[in-house]
Structures are given as structure tokens and as C-alpha cells.
Structure 1
Amino acid sequence: MIIVIDAINKHLFSDLLDEMFLLRGRVFGERLGWEVTIENGREIDQFDAMDPLYLLGLDEDGEVISCVRTLQTTGPHMLSDVFSSILDGEPPIRSSRIWESTRFCVDTARLTRDGSASAIARATSELMIATLETSRDAGITDIITVIDPVMNRVLKRSDNAPYDYVGSVTPMGKVSALAALLDCTDERIERVRAFAGISGRVLATEEEVLALRAAARMRNGQGNHDRKASLPEPAAVLAAAHAPASLQLSAG
């Protein structure tokens, strides 16, 4: 289940955004060792103040397990203002039809608690599909994304290989970084869907996510017991969000 959060609906999902910043802190600050600012465990930078568009992946309890941030390239963005060394002196790409995708990460620690690597592959593929579909539907033709070599291999394995690269591979913390280009075409989306075995929709509505979160709070004793009967069961919410998507994914 993927929820799209932007300037219009972020007031409804401030708790999810907080979970996202904590996840980014764990991944980019602790695991990857990137030179990012961490405060109270949260990784937040100047671009988060620009009302970007976020896509957040949620598990069956409505908790954040993956995330990505997108920004227009016509204004300030990471490749032009932070990772410009990748460009080797070349000017950054700027177009109203190209979005920058950054801070793509998956909570691998949480998803492997049951010992299943397929959960990571599915969460990654769902987030890729949702990002491409959301971009395509907004009239975006291409995504430029700053990734590390591991993510580059993940993209290739999931039949989502970049069609081109910009600049060069540059050291960044414990890993290296590079800028890749992905077209937001139906063909690319179908390739990723076929790889992951996902045939249904991956994007959830605001109502579905709010109901899922409310149901989770009820189970944890944080909600009003009197409202419980009026809320859909989490399984029903997930079924509606993913139907008729297959629940099986082979880790390629």
C-alpha cells in the first residue's frame, strides 16, 4: 500500500511523515553513513521545506516501510545544489517534465524480521511502480535519481534499469553516488509489474490509509472503543488497496 503525500494533504499524515524522517535517519545516517543532518533520529533537509511530493509504503499495520521524495528540477533540488560534484562541471538538467527522485529507501530491518527476503523485493517494487505511475499521470516524462551502486543493481535486477546516466560515480559517505535517468513510460511500468508479479493497483486512497491507521490504533488500545465497529478490518483495507494484485514475489 502506497500513499502519496503533498502540500495539500500533509496535514492528515503528519505522523506518517515523522515515521518517514526516522526511517531516513536510520538508512542514510546510520546504515549508509551519508553526510546528512540527523536531529532526534530524524533526517530532514532544506528540500523537505519546499513541499515536495512523497510516496510512502505502508505495511499491514499502517506503519512506514519505504519512502521516496520527488522534486521539480526547475528549482533547487539535490543534484543541482548538493550533489553537483556528480555532474563533473556540466549544468544540471532542468525541465518542467523531469522530476528528481531522492531519499528512496526501504526498512530492510523491519521487513526481514520474519526471515523473508521477498517482502523487501515486493516493497521495493511497489514503491518503484507507484513512483513511475504517479509521475506519468502528472505529465512527467522522466525521473532523474541520485542512487548508490547497490540501488543501481536493484533497478537492473527488477527490469527497471536506467536508460542513461549523468556525470560520474562520486564518493559519498560510506558508499558512492551516481545520477540515473528513468523514463516514465507504460512499457517500463509493465516491466516492473511483470517482474514483481503485481497486477493490481498499488496506490491507496487517503480514506483507506486513515482507516488502516485508525484500526491499528484500536488494536494497540489507543483509539476510542466505540468507533471500532465502524472501521473496516485491516485485511479488508489491504485487500481493497491491492486487489487484484498477487501477493507473491520472487526475489530476483
Structure 2
Amino acid sequence: MIIVVDGVNADQFTGLLSQVFELRARVFKDRLGWDVDVVDGQEKDHFDELHPTHIVSVTDEGRVAGCMRLLQTTGPNMLADVFSSILQGEPAPRSPLIWEATRFCVDTNMLDSGKTRNSISYVTSEVMVGAFEYARTAGVEDAVAVIDPIMNRVLKRSCNAPYDYLGEATPMGKVTAMAALMDCSETRINAVRDFANIQGDVFLDEDEAIQRFGDANSKASNPNAVRALQDYVHEQLQVASNTSELRAALHLLAELENDTNLTLTEGAATHS
């Protein structure tokens, strides 16, 4: 099952996020040997301070089996600010219709082979389906991800092959980095679902998620995070340059209002 943790509800899932950061440390530092910062067994970077969205696959026992981080490309992101050399001088994508998928990983020690619900293949596909469906609901059309050739083969095998690449494959330390583009289309989502035999809604209702896996005595939504999201929505309404971008910004606004029970539309009428 998928739990979505974002800037609004992160205070209610600190335990779950700790598991996410611990899994990232085991995968990226211990197994892959990446040059990442690990403190107290958790891997974090400054992008985690920007209230990103985490797509988290959780077992019935509350253990994190896999995760992915989603960042807006209109603000700081890894392709633009860390891996820009891949782009060979071309500008990084900047659009409310494109999100960046980063820090994807699964717990290979906990999961097995095959295609059962407890398999690497199933959890990999479940996280991808969760990310694409969540983004699609927010009006996002494409995802960009910095991957290596191994991940590129995984995506192709799981009926989730990138439809294009940006820049050139570029050596980055021990690996070769590639910037891949994937559309958030219903066709792609259905193909990944069929590959892994994923049926029904992958998302756990937030109220049930809080009840089952949330932090006891957690505070209500972080007011600073909500304010940051409000500012972001207003910014997207102001910078939208065409009907598609405006529609995406309005859709995101509606989703945030629904999630926070707040009115975020003050000032929206100033868009020209």
C-alpha cells in the first residue's frame, strides 16, 4: 500500500519518514557507495528541507518497503542543481507540468524475487504507479529522473521505459548518469499495473494511514509548511504561461484546499 507524505502531513509521519531516510542510507551509501551524507543512520540532503512529496510503500506491519521523492522542477531540484552536466549546456526543465522523481529505492533485504506482493518487482511497480497516479491527479504530465543504466534496464523490463532522454549519458563517479523522461499517462500506468498485476487503489486513505502508522500525539498540519504551499500555488498561478500550466496550477490548488481544509485562493484572481 502507498502512503503519500508531503509538507502538509509530514509532522504526523515522522516515524515513517525516519524509516525512509534509513532505507536511503542503506541503499545509496552502504550498497551503492554513493557520496551522500548520512547522519545517525539516515540519508538526507537539502532538497528534503523543501517539503517534497514522498511516495512510500508500506507493509501491513508498518515497515517501509520502498519509496520515491517528488520535487517541483520550478524550484531547486537535482537535475538542475546537481546533475546539470548531463544536459550539455541545455536548460533544465522548468514547468509545473513536469516533476522530478528522485531517491527511488526498495528494501531488497526484506523483499523476495518473483511477482508476489512481497517481491522487489511488485514494490518497484507499486511505487511507480503511486508516483504517476499522484502526479497525474495534480495535473502533471511528465516526470524527469536521473537514473543509471541499471535502472534504465529495470524501467524497460517493467513496461515503464522512458520515452526520451535529455542531454547525454555522463560519467558521475562510479556510475553513468542519464536524465530520463516518462509521461504520466494512463497508458503507462496501466502497462506498469498489468506487468505487476496491481489491482485496485494503491493508496491508503490518509485518515486510516494516520490511525495505523502515524505518530502518536502528533500535531496538526504544520502551519509553516501550509504557508509555503500556499505561496507556491500563488506563484504557479502567476507564472503560468499557457492554458495547460494554468489548469495544472488550479488543479493543484483544489487538491491542496481539499487536503488542508483551508482556502488558498486569496490573490488567485490577480493572474492575467
- TM-score, normalised with respect to structure 1: 0.81
**Cα 1:174–1:117, aligned 2, differ >3 Å: closer, same or farther?**
farther
CA drift at 1:39: 1.3
Matching residue of 1:98: 98
**Structural mapping, 1:164-243, within 5 Å:** 164-213=164-213
1:75 deviates by 1.1
Q: Cα offset for 1:104?
A: 0.5
CA-CA distance at 1:211 after TM superposition: 3.8
| Equivalent-residue separation in structure 2 for 1:52 and 1:6 (angstroms) | 6
Equivalent residue letter for 1:64: V
Q: Read off the aligned partner of 2:20 and give its amino acid letter.
A: M
- Aligned residue for 1:203, secondary structure, equals coil
Letter in 2 for 1:50: L
Instruction: Please say if residues 88 and 167 of structure 1, whose CA atoms lie closer than 8 Å, have aligned partners that are also in contact.
Output: yes
Cα deviation for residue 175 of structure 1 reads 2.2
State the Cα distance separating 1:82 from its structure 2 match: 0.6
1:236 counterpart residue number: none
Given that 1:54 and 1:67 are in contact with CA atoms closer than 8 Å, whether structure 2 keeps it comes out as: yes
1:8 corresponds in structure 2 to 8
Letter in structure 2 aligned against 1:152: N
Q: What's the counterpart of residue 221 of structure 2? A: none
Q: CA RMSD in A?
A: 1.7
1:17 counterpart SS class: helix
Per the alignment, residue 49 of structure 1 pairs with: 49
How far does residue 32 in structure 1 lie from its aligned partner after superposition? 1.2
**Deviation of residue 174 (structure 1)?**
3.0
Task: Give the total of aligned pairs.
Answer: 213
Equivalent residue number for residue 157 of structure 1 = 157
Q: CA deviation at 1:85?
A: 1.4
Q: Distance in 1 between the 2:46 and 2:108 partners?
A: 26
Structure 2 SS opposite 1:111: coil
After the TM superposition, which parts of structure 1 deviate over 4 Å for at least 4 consecutive aligned residues?
none
Structural mapping, 1:69-84, within 5 Å: 69-84=69-84
AA matched with 2:74: T
- Asked if 2 retains the 8 angstrom alpha-carbon contact of 1:148 and 1:178, the reply is yes
- Counterpart CA distance in 2 for 1:189 and 1:169 is 26
Q: Which runs of 5+ in 2 are unaligned?
A: 217-272
Give the CA deviation at 1:205.
1.3
1:74 deviates by: 0.8
Look up the SS of the partner of 1:134 in the other structure. helix
Superimposed CA distance per residue, residues 173-227 of structure 1 (whole angstroms, 9 cap, x where no aligned partner): 432221100001111111111111112111111233234338xx9xxxx9xxxxx
Return the alpha-carbon distance in structure 1 between the equivalents of residues 197 and 2 of structure 2: 16
Q: Aligned partner of 2:208: which letter?
A: E
- Give me the whole-angstrom Cα distance separating, in 1, the residues matched to 2:120 and 2:30: 19
Amino acid at match of 1:54: H
8 A contact 1:87–1:167 mirrored in 2? yes
Q: Contact 1:69–1:104 at 8 Å: present in 2 too?
A: yes
CA contact (8 A) 1:129 1:193 kept: yes
Question: Given the two structures, how large is their TM-score scaled by the length of structure 2?
Answer: 0.75
Task: Structure 1: state its 5+ residue gaps.
Answer: 223-252
Tell me the alpha carbon deviations over residues 83-122 of structure 1, each in whole angstroms, 9 at most, x when there is no partner: 111111111111111000000110111113xxx4431100
Q: Which amino acid aligns with 1:208?
A: E
* Aligned mates of 1:73, 1:171 — CA distance in 2: 23
Residue aligning to 2:136: 136
Matched letter for residue 157 of structure 2? R
Q: Distance in 2 between matches of 1:107 and 1:172?
A: 24
**Could you say what secondary structure the match of 2:109 adopts?**
helix
- Percent of pairs with identical residues: 54
Q: 1:80 Cα deviation (Å)?
A: 0.4
Are the aligned partners of 2:53 and 2:71 in contact in 1 as well (CA < 8 Å)? Answer: yes
Q: Is the 8 A contact 1:61 1:212 kept in 2?
A: no
In 2, are the aligned partners of 1:32 and 1:175 still within 8 Å (CA)?
no
